[in-house]
Amino acid sequence: MEKLAKKRVTLRHLARICDLSVSTVSQILNDRDSYCTEKTKQFVKNTARELGYRPNIGYKLMHGITTRTAAIILSYSDMISGEYLQKIMLHLIDRLNEKGYFVYTAKMPTSWPERKQAMERVLERGVEFLIALWKPCEWEDLEVIARQLPVVVMGSVPASLKIASVDIDVIYGVTQIFEHFRNSGCQNIRMVSTLDNYDRITAFSRFMNLEGKELAPYIVPLTGRDTCLRHNEQEPEIAMEIGYRKTRELMEREPEVDAIFYFTDLYALGGAKYLLETGRVIGKDIRIAGYNNTTAVRCLPYPISSVGQNEEETVRLLLDFEAGKPPCRIVQRPDVFIRN
């Protein structure tokens, strides 16, 4: 078995290892009716997975046979930086395998010609269900694909496009953090964030009754090089250094600030470093929060609140569309983690 796993495993090899006929193994892998027990079916699928068996896509396409292939696509930067996206992708692969799919994952390049070629390679594999995590390519390209096969996006999709999506209610999650600040007696709440992030800015403006007013006194902006968020998230130490610097800028200007919300956990970690160095007790003298509920924040000995996505529920909602749910936009409430 070890020797076979080092080279391409054919259907005939798999049938011999499972001690079954080629036709029976083919029926099981394609979820067609067979007289085998559920135990045998599971054994065949598990063996195929362990050996890295992949169907002959070209043959199936030529003969009009279902490929039972699903694709998960995301951008290269998201794959590297998004801890929660990595968890969602692993959950998706497990669930799709359980449903009898062979799963193809693809990281979309940054340049348009390379991205177009990557998308063509995905479709050439006979994909029957496609999941895009955030925006790995142009929305219009996904809409074209959605006319041919089920496509669902995890993230916000323009309302004008007919693409199924599972979005997250960021405004709700961020607002819950601000409510926590206020319920804890905080009077001087500030924010370290980009100025063009609609959801976070909207939540802050509504909570602080600042709609239509100047935001500059209340927000320390991430501008210029600071806004290269994809780059910063790939290199956590850069985002943390920026969080440290922005927090120092804020606290030197307004030492009475007693609560800060950061664009992401990485900036919050850098801010926490500065606050601790200046003798402030996090959770007592000042409360802070970030976004994404990363492992680093969860494991700290001092409290940083955060907003995170329920990965299992997200996967369940995404796969509802595989089952034939009509394209629509589902808005999921995030989990809010209050740490005192």
Q: Are 284 and 185 in contact (CB under 8 A)?
A: no
Please check whether residue 340 lies inside any domain of the structure.
no
Cα separations (Å) of 280 from 40, 122, 173? 62, 52, 26
Percent of the chain at pLDDT exceeding 70? 86
Pick the closest to residue 72 from 52, 54, 94 (CA basis): 94
Please check whether residue 148 lies inside any domain of the structure.
yes
Would you say the C-alpha torsion 88, 90, 96, 101 has a positive or negative sign?
positive
216: tokens are 């500059």
Q: What is the pLDDT of residues 150-201, one digit of tens each?
A: 999 998 898 888 899 999 999 999 999 999 999 999 999 999 998 888 999 9
Q: What is the amino acid identity at position 246?
A: K
Residue range of the domain that includes 137: 69-168+311-335
Q: Is the pLDDT of residue 1 over 50?
A: no
> What CATH number is given to the structural domain containing 21?
1.10.260.40
Residues 217 and 315 in one domain: no
Please check whether residue 118 lies inside any domain of the structure.
yes
255: tokens are 């030492």
Residues 81 and 143 in one domain: yes
Please check whether residue 59 lies inside any domain of the structure.
no
Residues 78 and 97 in one domain: yes
- 336 - beta bridge partners? 307
Q: Measured between alpha carbons, how far is 229 from 173 in angstroms, rounded to an integer?
A: 20
Instruction: For residue 114, give every residue at least 6 positions away whose Cβ sits within 8 Å of its Cβ, in sequence order, or none.
Output: none
Residues 120 and 245 in one domain: no
Please check whether residue 63 lies inside any domain of the structure.
no
Please check whether residue 29 lies inside any domain of the structure.
yes
Q: Measured between alpha carbons, how far is 87 from 230 in angstroms, rounded to an integer?
A: 18
Q: Long-range contacts for 336-340 (Cβ within 8 Å, ≥24 apart)?
A: 336/173, 336/176, 336/177, 336/180, 336/305, 336/307, 337/293, 337/298, 337/305, 337/306, 337/307, 337/308, 338/176, 338/177, 338/180, 338/305, 339/283, 339/303, 339/304, 339/305, 339/306, 340/184, 340/283, 340/303
Instruction: For residue 10, give every residue at least 6 positions away whose Cβ sits within 8 Å of its Cβ, in sequence order, or none.
Output: none
Least confident of 156-165, 250-259, 269-278: 156-165
Residues 213 and 303 in one domain: yes
Residues 146 and 240 in one domain: no
Residues 267 and 298 in one domain: yes
Please check whether residue 257 lies inside any domain of the structure.
yes
Q: What is the pLDDT of residues 206-231, one digit of tens each?
A: 999 998 888 888 999 987 665 554 44
- Find how far residue 135's CA is from the centre of its chain: 10
Residues 144 and 175 in one domain: no
Alpha helices in 7-37 (DSSP H): 11-18, 22-29
Q: What is the mean pLDDT of residues 24-50?
A: 79
Q: Are 106 and 145 in contact (CB under 8 A)?
A: no
Name the pairing type of β-strands 306-308 and 335-337: antiparallel
Q: Measured between alpha carbons, how far is 114 from 313 in angstroms, rounded to an integer?
A: 33
Q: Is the pLDDT of residue 59 over 60?
A: no
Q: Measured between alpha carbons, how far is 11 from 26 in angstroms, rounded to an integer?
A: 7
Number of domains in the chain: 3
Q: Measured between alpha carbons, how far is 136 from 116 in angstroms, rounded to an integer?
A: 11
Q: Is the pLDDT of residue 325 over 50?
A: yes
> What CATH number is given to the structural domain containing 159?
3.40.50.2300
Q: Report the pLDDT value the prediction gives residue 101, as an integer from 0 to 100.
A: 85
Residues 185 and 255 in one domain: yes
Residues 198 and 255 in one domain: yes
> The pTM is what?
0.76
Residues 187 and 248 in one domain: yes
Please check whether residue 64 lies inside any domain of the structure.
no
Residues 35 and 131 in one domain: no
